[in-house]
Chains A and B, each alone.
Chain A
Amino acid sequence: MTDVVVAGVGMHPWGKWGRNFVEYGIVAARAALADAGIDYRDVQFVSGADTVRNGYPGYVAGATFAQALGWTGARVASSYAACASGATALEIARAEILAGRCDVALVVGADTTAKGFLAPNAGDRPDDPDWLRFRLLGATNPTYFALYARRRMALHGATERDFAEVRAKNARHGLGNPNARYRKAFSVDDILASPMVADPLRLVEICATSDGGAAVVLVSDAYAKRIGISNPVRVRAVSTVTPAFPQTIIEMPHFATDSGVTSDGVTPFKDSIAKAAYEEAGLGPEDLSLAEVYDLSSALELDWYEHIGLCKAGEAERLLHDGDTTIGGRIPVNPSGGLACFGEAVPAQALAQVCEVAWQLRGQAGDRQVEGARVGLTANQGLFGHGSSVILSL
């Protein structure tokens, strides 16, 4: 299959700016178009990642961004897949190019978020598991992150100090990232002094909610040649897999797992996400120069090392302590600083991961540059069963 080329990437810095999400989206889109050297009027397809917290314009994000950038008659799509929305929007744009229906597509995601816990939209919905888990259990997102963290401690002997070391590593990575919201060094002791939110996870170890925007310009291989992009960054795989039945690990926002009576031979969901991407790309974990994974909590980053195959189950702490996942190590993870330094702008986040990998592969990541980066993977997951993993390579 011909690869699709990442012609340009751009972001609006993450923060708590309190402005309209459309502004962040078009700032990111214009930055990505400028990066690509492509005139907006040459974009044939606009793919928007939706936000559900900003009213109707957020549900039709593709058209909202297209109108804000100026109507051109381009085709449009809007998609929602929770935290995986950006990957879904990217996949739709890639499919349009691979199908030969267009040569230039613009993918945009942006969000404005309220302070505090992410909560369901207002209104009584007793048949919505996401509403019910707050009503019947008081189970917030950190509840689920903390269940995984405690399980990791019981199963693999991880400690609160291990989790704090992940957070401290990501703080170091993000210090100089101009798009990161939090650029502050944290010692392990600082982190361990932070208030407990959901035992064993502390406030600074749980991803905040942020405002931000990210955009990616994809072009066909032929178009990339025509406009003279040399040594292009290629999209080698986009995985948008769902879980396989039975799902035997508890997942947000559910109350229970499926019954595991017939689970033989079923790959656990989080393992299947990157696996599908590796299979499509014909690459494996040993080929990676870096990875951007969804550190919704400090502890969850350790789980991801195993889910994306960097090590066997129970070995993530060793990888961390050996410095393998630090910039300068064997396989740096979250060189951007990750969600720890960004906070989450839901529909923009999977695209932000792609932006970081593209900058790394082009050698433009400044003081967080992974030397000689050639292949990068992103991994993320949207609630209700949306996998998201993208592999880019030179």
Chain B
Amino acid sequence: MPAIEGWFTTDDSPALLGNRCTTCGTVFFPKASFYCPNPGCQGEQFEETPLSRVGRIWSYTDAQYQPPPPYVPRSQDYTPFAIAAVELADEQMVVLGQVADGYTVADLKVGQQVEMVVEELFTEGDTEYQVWRWKPIAEASS
């Protein structure tokens, strides 16, 4: 199950879920609530909207040491993971996410194309909690 409700879909073509102010059209992620955060807008109504599934890496790093709680480690032996900030062209928005399993910073470049995937964040008892991740995609060389 998703580690957080309502932030992303988990179907075959998963996407982050933002919302769009029906008054000014601005897209927000995570979803805006109550009132539109655009100071020039009086909007109070939003419609859910999936974000672009593909973007380009704005920057990236990794976590060589295990983060403190409420981070939940996946196993006793800590394995470093990478994190990317990804620029979505249509939304003109940068969204953070861990990088998909199996990739390290050595596999990443600023400007590289990635797509959103859903993977295990951690497992507690029999329940697997899932999160969105950014996965590098091969681009045709020009």
Interface of A toward B, CB cutoff 8 Å: 116-117, 119-120, 122, 124, 126, 129, 131-140, 142-143, 146-151, 154-155, 195-201, 245-246, 248-250, 254-263
Contact = CB atoms under 8 A, between A and B. Distances in A.
Contacts of A147: 58-61, 83, 85
Nearest to A146: B61
B96 A250 contact: yes
Contact of A117 (B26, B67, B105): B67
Given A119-B69, A135-B72, A262-B26, A255 B95 contact: yes
A122 B29 CA distance: 25
Contacts of B39: 245
B66 to A, nearest CB: 8
12 contacts: A129-B30, A133-B96, A134-B67, A134-B68, A134-B70, A138-B67, A139-B63, A154-B111, A198-B62, A199-B105, A258-B93, A259-B28
A148 B37 CA distance: 25
Given A135-B70, A245-B39, A256 B63 contact: no
B64 A196 contact: yes
Interface size class of B (residues with CB under 8 A): 35 or more
B37 A245 contact: yes
Nearest to A124: B70
B4 A136 contact: yes
Contacts of A245: 37-39
A136 B65 contact: no
A132 B27 CA distance: 21
B47 interface: no
A137 B97 contact: yes
A261 B26 contact: yes
A256 B26 contact: no
Contacts of A137: 83, 96-98
Most buried by B among A131, A154, A258: A258
Contact of B64 (A119, A155, A195): A195
Most buried by B among A131, A138, A150: A138
B64 A197 contact: yes
Interface in B60-112: 60-65, 67-72, 81, 83, 85, 91-98, 105, 109-111
Given A246-B38, A256-B30, 19 more contacts: A131-B70, A134-B71, A137-B98, A139-B83, A140-B67, A140-B68, A146-B61, A146-B62, A147-B59, A147-B60, A147-B61, A150-B60, A151-B58, A151-B110, A154-B109, A250-B58, A250-B94, A258-B26, A259-B27
Given A131-B70, A154-B110, A199-B62, A138 B81 contact: yes
Contact of A256 (B70, B81, B96, B131): B96
A256 B62 contact: no
Contacts of B60: 147, 150
Contacts of A150: 59-61, 110
